[in-house]
């Protein structure tokens, strides 16, 4: 269904939220790969009331919506997204401590959160010190590093449903698994989460953070535009090693390249198109399937119009 932007503009004005809405917004400005066509409608609500108004408009006019945080782990295709993109980075940044319990808004970056926890001598988030995403996406994808995951510290999650109802789910109902939770693929918007951390020694926490940062800097192409790991590790294998073994390390198309530093990363050398990245992803999948009989599962999320 083609969207009538004038109707949406009038509706947003009527609801008093036109200041948080942009039209035909280039999504390359909102992803870590710096790639992606425009979103028909892009909004950055600062609070739950505005977010609810946006969701009610999407429901009323049958407009599909997608939520993005820092746009990491995400490839948006060159023709952009037909529909509504909601970005929670403007608001939803609350952090409230109560001893070892912390309530965190979905728009808070994991890097910032790990620093705040360090300052309070709380342990449990050292693994998150250089995961570039925000908490919302980290919960949906159960982000982790070196055997530690968001699921280890989350107690419950509050989210807004597509029906505009606020609901809460405890950790046991979220079915956390390797790189996923049961909120993945559902039309819900995470608002906040409650986490349980441990009292720790500040020097030990800081030392662990430095060690994690060093491991990442040595092994991953952090100084290049990338979207993190492209594939999940298949049981018993490392995806990067499989990519290397099929001779795809350093493979390039246009300005996109399979990283020479870590073969499970594809980098944008400046001006790469989503089509270039997608070509490399599909080429790797074909080679690994042919050589090892393994169907690689994507960790990167691909959105938009092909």
Q: Could you confirm whether 56 is annotated as catalytic?
A: no
Q: Which residue out of 58, 114, 123, 229 is catalytically annotated?
A: 229
- What pLDDT sits at residue 255? 98
pLDDT in tens, 83-118: 999 999 888 999 999 999 999 999 999 999 999 999
Q: Which residues of the chain have pLDDT under 50?
A: none
Q: What is the CATH number of domain 5-87?
A: 3.30.43.10
Q: Which residue out of 126, 192, 257, 299 is catalytically annotated?
A: 299
3-state secondary structure the chain: CCCCHHHHHHHHHHCCCHHHEEEEEEHHHHCCCCCCCEEEEEECCCCHHHHHHHHHHHHHCCCCEEEECCCCCEEECCCCEEEEEEECCCCCCCEEEECCEEEEECCCEHHHHHHHHHHCCEECCHHHHHCCCEHHHHHHCCCEECCEEHHHCEEEEEEECCCCCEEEEEHHHCCCECCECCCCCCCCEEEEEEEECEECCHHHHHHHHHHHHHHHHHHCCCCCEECCCCECCCCCCCHHHHHHHCCCCCCEECCEEECCCCCCCEEECCCCCHHHHHHHHHHHHHHHHHHHCCCCCECCEEECCC
Domain boundaries, the chain: 5-87, 95-218, 221-303
**Parallel, antiparallel, or unpaired: how do β-strands 101-105 and 95-98 relate?**
antiparallel
Q: Could you confirm whether 32 is annotated as catalytic?
A: no
- What pLDDT sits at residue 306? 77
Whats the size of the chain, residue-wise? 306
Q: Residue 186 and residue 289: Cα distance in Å, rounded?
A: 29
Q: Is the pTM of this model over 0.85?
A: yes
Q: Do domains 5-87 and 221-303 have the same CATH topology?
A: no
Q: Which residue out of 179, 257, 287, 301 is catalytically annotated?
A: 179
Q: Residue 284 and residue 21: Cα distance in Å, rounded?
A: 38
The candidate with the shortest Cα–Cα distance to 66, out of 42, 46, 49, is 42
**Parallel, antiparallel, or unpaired: how do β-strands 266-268 and 256-258 relate?**
antiparallel
Q: Residue 59 and residue 48: Cα distance in Å, rounded?
A: 16
- What pLDDT sits at residue 91? 87
Q: Are 35 and 273 in contact (CB under 8 A)?
A: yes
C-alpha torsion sign, points 110, 305, 179, 232? negative
pLDDT in tens, 63-83: 999 999 899 999 999 999 999
Domain 221-303 has CATH 3.30.450.20: no
> What kind of architecture, by CATH, is found in domain 95-218?
2-Layer Sandwich (3.30)
Q: Could you confirm whether 58 is annotated as catalytic?
A: no
- What pLDDT sits at residue 185? 83
Q: Are 278 and 270 in contact (CB under 8 A)?
A: no
The candidate with the shortest Cα–Cα distance to 190, out of 67, 60, 53, is 67
Q: Residue 13 and residue 217: Cα distance in Å, rounded?
A: 46
Helices 110-119/202-219 angle, 10° precision: 150
| Greatest C-alpha distance within the chain | 58
């Amino acid at each position: 269904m083609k969207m009538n932007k004038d109707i949406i503009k009038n509706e947003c004005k009527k609801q008093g939220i036109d200041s948080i809405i942009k039209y035909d917004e280039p999504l390359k400005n909102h992803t870590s790969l710096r790639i992606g066509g425009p979103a028909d409608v892009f909004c950055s609500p600062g609070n739950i009331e505005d977010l609810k108004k946006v969701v009610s408009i999407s429901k009323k006019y049958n407009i599909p919506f997608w939520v993005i945080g820092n746009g990491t782990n995400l490839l948006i295709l060159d023709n952009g997204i037909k529909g509504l993109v909601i970005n929670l980075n403007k608001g939803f940044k609350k952090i409230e401590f109560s001893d070892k319990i912390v309530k965190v808004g979905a728009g808070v970056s994991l890097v910032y959160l790990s620093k705040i926890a360090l300052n309070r001598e709380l342990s449990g988030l050292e693994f998150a010190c250089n995961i570039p995403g925000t908490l919302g996406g980290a919960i949906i994808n159960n982000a982790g590093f070196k055997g530690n995951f968001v699921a280890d510290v989350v107690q419950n999650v509050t989210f807004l449903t597509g029906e505009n109802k606020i609901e809460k789910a405890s950790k046991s109902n979220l079915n956390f698994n390797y790189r996923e939770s049961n909120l993945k693929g559902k039309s819900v918007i995470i608002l906040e989460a409650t986490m349980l951390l441990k009292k720790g020694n500040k020097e030990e926490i800081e030392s662990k953070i430095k060690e994690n940062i060093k491991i990442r800097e040595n092994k991953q192409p952090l100084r290049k535009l990338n979207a993190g790991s492209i594939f999940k590790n298949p049981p018993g294998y490392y995806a990067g090693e499989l990519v290397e073994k099929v001779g795809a390390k350093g493979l390039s198309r246009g300005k996109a390249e399979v990283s020479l530093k870590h073969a499970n990363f594809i980098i944008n050398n400046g001006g790469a198109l989503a089509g270039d990245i997608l070509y490399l992803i599909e080429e790797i999948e074909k080679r690994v399937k042919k050589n090892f009989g393994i169907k690689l599962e994507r960790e990167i999320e691909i959105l938009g119009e092909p």
